[in-house]
Chain A
Amino acid sequence: MQEIVYPGDLIADTQIRAPNVYVENGKSYSMVLGFKDSSGSGIIPFEGGWVPKIEETVIGIISSERNNVYEVDLGSHHRALIIGGKYERFSFQIGDVVEATVKDIEDGRTIILSYPNALKEGTVISIKPSKIPRLIGKNNTMINQISQGTSSKISVGMNGMVWIRDGNVALATAAILRVEEEAHVPGLTGRIKEMVEKR
């Protein structure tokens, strides 16, 4: 197992720019609990909130509508909006699940979404946002494996919400929750493969 890094641990005696590393007095320290990234100098955190980035895909639930402006609940403290225009009219209902792209982030907490796409029917589950990269896997390997093994349609939002439809939804949900729990245990791809192909 890789070496665990704690907040405040010295990473380098020089200034480095890497994920989850901060610089003070010319030295670099870790700011999370996690382990060292084998392919870079950053730290992969065990847990963590979601920090939105532009052009990320998110999944949310429409919570209110007013004058063609829809507010979306992304399961975080952010306020996310889909703003319709003169030529762009949407017809979402409150409670609809939508997939959208982050277009802009204003003052750190208001997110403007674009290209909304309603996800009809299906199930939405919420997992820790820090585990989403592991769920997707390198070149989408992990999510494709679950999707093919259970013949489900799966859509993943970087904010931690996952939408599943068709196929064996129960098995897909179990597999996703298992990825969340065991994200840092080596050999996960093999175990998930075994899990989805056994039935």
Chain B
Amino acid sequence: MASKANKPELIVNGRRLDGRDFNQLRPIKIEANVLKNATGSAYLEWGNNKVLAAVYGPVEAQPKHMADPSKAIIKCRYSMAPFSSLSEHNRSGPNRRATEISKVTKEVFEKVLMLNEFPGSQINIFIEILQSDGGTRAAGITAASVALASSGLHMKDLVYAVSVGKIGEHLVLDLDMIEDNYSDSDMPMAISPRNGEILLLQMDGEYTKEELEGAFKMAAEAGKEIGAVQRNALKRVYENVVSKYNGE
């Protein structure tokens, strides 16, 4: 977190810096099946975040000693492009932060995918952040979920992720970069909307029990909106083909 000394005023006249309400998401746009070579892929724009996610597999597990004879293994690579951010993450290649996010993303999809159908194989998930503005791990998981659905791999649910933070006494949804740096706390979470199961929860800062419950409610509300965008993206791929040939 940035220093408290030069903390800007994050809430002005009951509104956030970018004019959003406390429980308002940034605009989200998803396009599915954008990469021809991948089994499944998705491109997502979430506010100023731009994320490309691709899924390859099942392929033969490499190295071979990592293969599990009872189920498929997942390899996940979260990476920020060297040009994705103004200052902080401008070093390309794996680093401590990217390794951590790759790990937690992998654990989200381990709960969702039906891995026992492809024993001895490997599923590769790639998340590339092209432009970052806070909340990229949530954006990455949301995009990867669409990519997985478009790949046709068997999965239990179309998961989404979103962050809920705290500025002063206010709970705020979907923090951007400035809010993320100066807020009192930040909690990204990934949720399975079918039963509300929480697949990822990381917390930076402090919450009281009531605030935590409020945050879960806020995330569940946001999930309906995110889920609708995800479904629309998947639907459009097939509708486009239908309209192309019906128009002939």
Residues on A lying within 8 angstroms of B by beta carbon are: 1, 4, 6-8, 10, 20, 22, 24, 29, 31-33, 45-49, 51, 76-77, 107-109, 130, 181-182, 184-185, 191
Is there an interface contact between A33 and B119, defined as CB atoms closer than 8 Å?
no
Take A8-B158, A185-B245 as given contacts and tell me if A49 and B120 are in contact as well, using a CB distance cutoff of 8 Å: no
Q: Complex Cα distance A165/B149, Å?
A: 36
Identify which of A7, A49, A108 contacts B157 (C-beta below 8 A).
A7
Which of B40, B156, B192, B231 is in CB contact (< 8 Å) with A31? B156
- In contact, B117 and A51 (Cβ under 8 angstroms): yes
How far, in whole Å, are A36 and B158 apart by their CA atoms in the complex? 18
Contact residues of B between 106 and 139, Cβ < 8 Å to A = 114, 117-122
A6 with B158: CB separation less than 8 A: yes
- Nearest opposing residue in chain A for B71, CB measure: A108
Count B interface residues, CB 8 Å.
37
Q: Are B152 and A31 in contact (CB under 8 A)?
A: no
- Known contacts A7-B149, A24-B156, A47-B152; 20 additional CB pairs below 8 A are A1-B242, A4-B231, A4-B238, A22-B154, A29-B156, A31-B114, A31-B154, A31-B155, A32-B152, A47-B151, A49-B57, A49-B58, A49-B118, A76-B58, A77-B118, A77-B120, A77-B121, A109-B121, A184-B238, A185-B242
Select A7's contact among B69, B118, B121, B158, beta carbons within 8 Å: B158
Is B154 touching A32 in the complex (CB atoms < 8 A)?
Answer: yes
